Amino acid sequence: MIQKSSEALSRRAFLGMAGAATGMMVLASSCSKNDDDNMMNNGVDLGNGDVGILNYAYALEQLEAAFYTRVAQSPYNGISASENALLTDIRDHEIAHREFFKSALAGAAISNLEFDFSAVDFSSRASVLATAKAFEDLGVSAYNGAGKLIVTPDYLTLAGKIVSVEARHAAYIRDLISNGSFADNTVVDMNGLDTSRMPADVLAVAAGFIKTKINASNLPR
Amino acid sequence: MEFQHIINEIKKVDPEMPERLSDRRTAMKSFAGIGAKIGLAALPFFIGSIFKKAYAQSGPSQNVVLDVLNYALTLEYLEAEFYAMGIAKGTALVPAGAPAAAIKTIGDHEAAHVEFLKTAITASGGTPVAKPTFDFTAGGTFANVFTDYATFLAVAQTFEDTGVRAYKGRAAEITGGGDLLTAALNIHSVEARHAAHIRTMRKANGFGDVKPWITGKESGIGSVVQASYDGEEMTTQAGINIVNINGAMISASAATEAFDEGLTKEQVLAIVGPFIVQ
């Protein structure tokens, strides 16, 4: 059933939505110079509706992919073979997510974002894993929070396919830091529920690592 | 809690709702006022009662929501009792220290999920299904499930990975389900955290060559649990090939690992059927 519904989400459906958004972008680019400047000042517009949510996910996957690419390029001191292999796996998963959204959104996709990882000491296991933990937990909470904003059932399914992989990453990274902390009470409440955050809260946290200004004001709330 | 937001959402889907509910709006506002005073433990009931009032006429139908929640409850009963019985065996089954602590953490979550879902179902106007009678040996297939640590963890991994797939498989049915959808998603990701940890435990003990994520459709257990992993080998998503996507070096294995796949209700019931006596 799931496979069926995935297939039903044809590329054309995606491109159809993308086409509408592209039209809006063309419209935007025909604005006067002053308007253009205003748009620049407001940052990269994620857009609205489901496209906005998909761009929001795309932005977060860009962040994670860029981070793990750096981690894999310069592994921290004393990294074990197993850690190196699994962190490289995670890099590949995040790149797969990033490129999936890029392809799916096509013309409606936001541009490549620029990141600032100056707060991370890539030679330090503690620094890298603490950052990874923050990103993974943030990612899980972002997808969990955005679920109710999604209108198209197939997109919700797709988000579900990704969020559980982010949760697997989060659990693994947490266990590397402290075995047994995979689902501790800093992320799971007394009802056994994980954390969910709305886009504004997520982006406020992520902003510390993203140089490019992001305009999320048109996202559904 | 964003009750005003819920009302706004309803208006979007059903513009006539404000008129139909006009005499209820005062009540909703007073709900918002007392929201801050309601403790976390009372939340399921509160969400449920709001849901019943607000969403009965729009979004996923009450019947669909209740069906999904009772389905989830059945799986949580299964997991909760499984861990409770395992924990009851003490260190004869699960070694003291980190392993026992991890199993307790997971078991506590599953028990909390049972309570949460029962409360949410009742508050949503439904009746929680009764707890089935379970046979965790699955008719003898896992005869040593509570005496052999490796078997216990193999069954645990299968339950957790299946649980993740079960929630995922039905999420789309409750699209637009507001805070109840969020709650289901918040359980779904906890199950994924559990799955990752159990898989790490199995790997560390040499019980199975598995990673925290699912590669291809490999269980690392054997054909007996294969139905829980079939379908995970997908390398295309929404018609887009993930292998080497856009020139990135993404292997087929990584492409399958990067996306977890759902299971239909029928697939899940066939998987857990052997564990349910009645």
pLDDT of B50 higher than 60? no
ipTM of predicted assembly, 2 dp: 0.86
pLDDT digits (tens, 9 = 90+) for B159-202: 999 999 999 999 999 999 999 999 999 999 999 999 999 999 99
Give the model's pLDDT for residue B278: 80
- B68 in A contact zone (CB under 8 Å): no
Report B:78-107 residues touching A (Cβ under 8 A).
Answer: 98, 101-102, 105-106
- Distance from the Cα of A166 to chain B's closest Cα (Å) equals 8
Q: Which residues of B touch A48 (CB under 8 A)?
A: none
**Residue B6: per-residue pLDDT:** 42
Of B186, B211, B238, the CB nearest to A6: B238
- Mutate which: B185, B200, B214, B243, vs A, most A CBs within 10 A: B185
Q: Mean of the pLDDT values across residues A126-146?
A: 98
Residue B196: closest CA among chain A residues belongs to which residue?
Answer: A168
Element (H, E) at B237: strand B236-237
Q: Average pLDDT, stretch A131-158?
A: 97
Q: Is the pLDDT of residue A92 over 90?
A: yes
Q: What is the mean pLDDT of residues A165-189?
A: 98
Over residues B242-259, the mean pLDDT reads: 98
All structural domains of chain A with their residue ranges = 6-212
Please provide the average confidence, as pLDDT, over all residues in chain B: 86
Q: Tell me if chain A has a CB within 8 Å of the CB of B40.
A: yes
Domain boundaries, chain B: 3-54, 62-232+260-275
Who has greater pLDDT, B144 or A17? Answer: B144
Interface of A with B in 119-148 (CB under 8 A): 140, 143-145, 147-148
Contact: B193, A183; criterion CB under 8 Å: yes
Residue A202: predicted pLDDT = 98
Q: Report whether pLDDT(A118) > 80.
A: yes
Residue B2 has pLDDT above 50, yes or no: no
Average pLDDT over residues A175-195: 98
Please tell me the predicted confidence (pLDDT) of residue B95.
Answer: 98
Mean pLDDT confidence for B145-149:
98
User: Contacts of residue B77 in chain A, CB cutoff 8 Å?
Assistant: none
Q: What tokens appear for B194 in the block? A: 């559990």
According to the model, what pLDDT value does residue A41 have? 64
| pLDDT above 80: residue A149 | yes
**A199-A201-A204 Cα angle (round to 5):** 105
Taking an 8 Å cut-off on Cβ atoms, the answer to whether A161 and B189 are in contact is no
pLDDT of amino acid A185? 97
DSSP state for residue B134 in the 8-state scheme: B
Residue A4 has pLDDT above 80, yes or no: no
pLDDT, greater one: B142 or B34: B142
- Answer for the pair A76, A128: CB distance below 8 angstroms, yes or no: yes
* CATH superfamily ID and name for A6-212: Ferritin, core subunit, four-helix bundle (1.20.1260.10)
**Which residues 151-210 on chain A approach chain B with CB closer than 8 angstroms?**
151-154, 156-158, 160-172, 175, 179-180, 182-184, 188-196
User: Global pTM?
Assistant: 0.85
3-state class (DSSP) for residue A210: strand
Separation in Å, CA of A21 to nearest CA in chain B: 19
- Determine the Cα–Cα distance for residues A144 and B236; give it in Å rounded to an integer: 23
SS3 content of chain A, % helix, strand, coil (to 5): 70, 5, 30
Question: pLDDT category, B59, cuts 50, 70, 90?
Answer: confident
Side-chain-side CA neighbours of residue B151 (13 Å): 15
What pLDDT does residue B32 have? 34
Domain B62-232+260-275 of CATH type 3.40.50.1220? no
Mean pLDDT of chain A: 87
The helix (run of H) or strand (run of E) holding residue A214 is strand A214-215
Distance between first and last Cα of chain A: 30
Query: Which residue blocks in chain B are alpha helix, DSSP H?
Result: 3-13, 17-20, 22-35, 43-55, 62-88, 98-123, 149-171, 178-204, 252-257, 265-272
The answer to whether B190 and B182 have CB atoms below 8 angstroms apart is no
Which of B41, B105, B239 lies nearest to residue A7, judging by beta carbons?
A: B239
Residues of A in contact with B237 (CB under 8 A): 6, 100, 158, 161
CA distance A89 to A94: 9
pLDDT tens column, A15-70: 444 444 444 443 444 333 333 334 556 899 999 999 999 999 999 999 999 999 99
